Amino acid sequence: MKGINAPSAAEGRQPPPGLAFAAQRPAGAGRPGPRRPTPAAARPDLTRPAEHCREPLPTPGALTKMSALRASRMLRTIAWRGWRSHSSKPAQNTHISKPGAGFSFELTDEQKEFQATARKFAVEEIIPVAAHYDKSGEYPLPLIKRAWELGLINSHIPESCGGLGLGSFEACLITEELAYGCTGVQTAIEANSLGQMPVIIAGNEQQQKKYLGRMTEEPMMCAYCVTEPGAGSDVAGIKTKAEKKGDEYVINGQKMWITNGGKANWYFLLARTNPDPKAPASKAFTGFIVEANSPGIQIGRKEINMGQRCSDTRGIVFEDVRVPKENVLIAEGAGFKIAMGAFDKTRPPVAAGAVGLAKRALDEATKYALERKTFGKPIVEHQAVSFMLAEMAMKVELARMAYQRAAWEVDAGRRNTYYASIAKAFAGDVANQVATDAVQIFGGNGFNTEYPVEKLMRDAKIYQIYEGTAQIQRMIIAREHVGKYKA
């Protein structure tokens, strides 16, 4: 079955460049000697935008002179020559090919370019308007269009469909920076990746070119329609049905909590095609690509959520919606494995978003602690506060390593279910803990909407809920862990 929890051809290739999680030693080589530490002056400071990225971003006026295809690949103007060779396909990792190199936490120059560009966009264009979108609940279409122009959206789309074809690792670097600016905006963008992923891993050439290709031609969204009012974590409990009639399937049912539900151009939809209630999930469900403007689709009201309020979340009703058989992914009965396989690829970016929020909370709390004074000195000089900041920093760093490992496993062509769930569960918890501690450090001010941390605290909660709750992730981790000992 194409791309679904099956060994990839990439397993025989070298791991992708950038972060390396596998030490290698040339055949016949002896034990490597100690690695010489890198001088502090030579270490890159990834906490600040690179100097060359402080130049103004291209103006919208200049972008309008470009063709749509060229505009969608705007990032080429920054460091195009190396990105595709390093990012879209695994290549020899120079960090682990030398004797004694072992682990390497150095990013490639191209990965640093992506990171710096996304960071600059978040700081200069997202943060100044984040509070407005949070209060108004408006969909951040101007920001989404700008992200599309810069190539910061749809990064997973293959080159064969006109996309950049980036790896999961690069996508996660971008996601963390966007989430630093606003996770509501980032979720609206990342929902595209979730909607696209079933088509990327299971779509045939015609399906990919038709539905992924159009997203590289102009800014548009898609959505992942799986959750229902009575089926969230229990995906096998889905009630939406698809009945085959001639060369079409007729779909009836209701979906709920669909991100980008009211903005999507098309949906990935999971529906039951086997009427036997005893049929196993692996054979009972089918994945479909559904045009959002199909007759019979009724889009519900925008839900007003606790956090991430500019993200478009809705319920959708499907009433006698007809879908051609050409829009079935792989085959009838393959939908459950496709849907679950997509999560392995999209949970690392969700974890990266949680890390971005946590890093923002840490930065805001640290700056405030340096300025706020009590008992004649900045509160950062009180051990109680400094220890809180230390704990927050520890959690952010470890959560980042977790999502990077999960993403690296994907790009190395390995099944990453175990690491994806660890990253998603841990980073989601960290986002909530760090945001809560940031509010505590702000004291009464942290409880007020005039300060940024109360929004961060509200935005953080969803990371323990969507794309698999914190409890579901622990079930998966336990199953994978114990399975190693039963094998």
β-pairing, 373-374 vs 377-378, is antiparallel
Helix or strand holding residue 189 (H, E) = helix 183-202
Catalytic: which of 113, 364, 454, 467? 467
- Give the residue from 303, 442, 364, 301 showing the smallest Cα distance to 130: 364
CA distance 272 to 34: 58
DSSP string, 302-334: PP--SS-TTS-EEEEEEEEEEEEGGGBSSSTT-
H-helix segments, 22-155: 60-63, 68-72, 76-87, 109-121, 127-136, 141-150
User: Quick one: CA torsion of 151, 54, 89, 108, rounded to 10 degrees?
Assistant: -170
> What residue spans of 260-317 are helical by DSSP H?
281-284
CA distance 35 to 26: 16
Report whether 369 contacts 410 (CB < 8 A): no
> Taking the CA atoms of the chain, what radius of gyration do you get in angstroms?
23
| Of 133, 115, 136, 224, the residue nearest 184 (C-alpha) | 133
339: phi then psi, degrees, rounded to nearest 5: -60, -45
Please give the helix or strand (H or E) that residue 410 lies within, else none. helix 383-411
Q: Which of 340, 58, 348, 54 is nearest to 174 (CA)?
A: 348
* C-alpha count within 13 angstroms, C-beta hemisphere, residue 413: 14
In the DSSP assignment, the letter for residue 99 is T
Q: How far is residue 279 from each of residues 237, 276, 340, measured CA to CA in Å?
A: 12, 5, 17
291 noted as active-site residue:
no
How far is it, in rounded angstroms, from Cα 278 to Cα 64? Answer: 56
Tokens of 248: 């079409």
Rounded Cα–Cα distance for residues 363 and 369 (Å): 10
The two tokens of residue 336 are 């459950």
Q: Which residues are catalytic?
A: 467
